[in-house]
Amino acid sequence: PQRGAVADTLPLTVRQTVEMGRWGERGPWRRLTRGDRATVDSALDRLHIADLAGRQLGELSGGQRQRALIAQGLAQESDLLLLDEPTTGLDPEARERISTLLTELVADGVTVVQATHDLEAARSADACLLLRDGSLAGQGHPDGVLTASALAEVWQPA
């Protein structure tokens, strides 16, 4: 969801939210190093939200919030990024920014796994798993998995 009651009431800034991505490295109670701050700054810059660093998370639009949360994931510097519907409900510009970033991450060697109902996003993937009622209905390259007949079968009522 783009909005959660808890997130809107917590007085967290965008920077603090992204800094949480470093907790796996530092823990929540240790101060961030210069390198950690550079990593956070890089994630903010990469998502084009450095200008929002001082804003409260609850004040952001859906697209801005989603980019902040993805920046938090980037700050972890992991070679695997798991995303659940990262562009759902966002305006076309926000969807494009996030899609472009995900393509760049893959080019940088990061494995990106995303659950999505967005066929455009699914068709741009290197590999695809098609699910129906929680069971595997197809797997492989999107051209072979996301066929009209397979999609019709998956989306018809059980």
Domain segments of the chain as ranges: 5-125, 127-158
Tokens of 69: 């949360």
pTM to 2 decimal places: 0.83
Could you give the CA distance from residue 120 to residue 40 in angstroms, rounded to a whole number? 30
| Residues of the chain predicted below pLDDT 50 | 1-3, 5-6
Report which of 110, 114, 120 is spatially closest to residue 46, judged by C-alpha positions. 110
Residue 97 backbone dihedrals phi, psi, to 5 degrees:
-60, -45
Residue 43 backbone dihedrals phi, psi, to 5 degrees:
-65, -40
Tokens of 42: 């890089």
Asked whether 153 and 145 are in contact (CB, 8 A), the reply is no
pLDDT recorded at residue 123: 92
Could you give the CA distance from residue 133 to residue 156 in angstroms, rounded to a whole number? 11
pLDDT recorded at residue 17: 94
Could you give the CA distance from residue 3 to residue 109 in angstroms, rounded to a whole number? 31
pLDDT recorded at residue 104: 92
pLDDT recorded at residue 8: 63
Place of tokens 């990106």: 112
pLDDT recorded at residue 139: 95
Fold for the domain defined by 5-125:
Rossmann fold (3.40.50)
Bridging pattern class, strands 128-132 and 80-84: unpaired
pLDDT recorded at residue 61: 85
pLDDT recorded at residue 93: 83
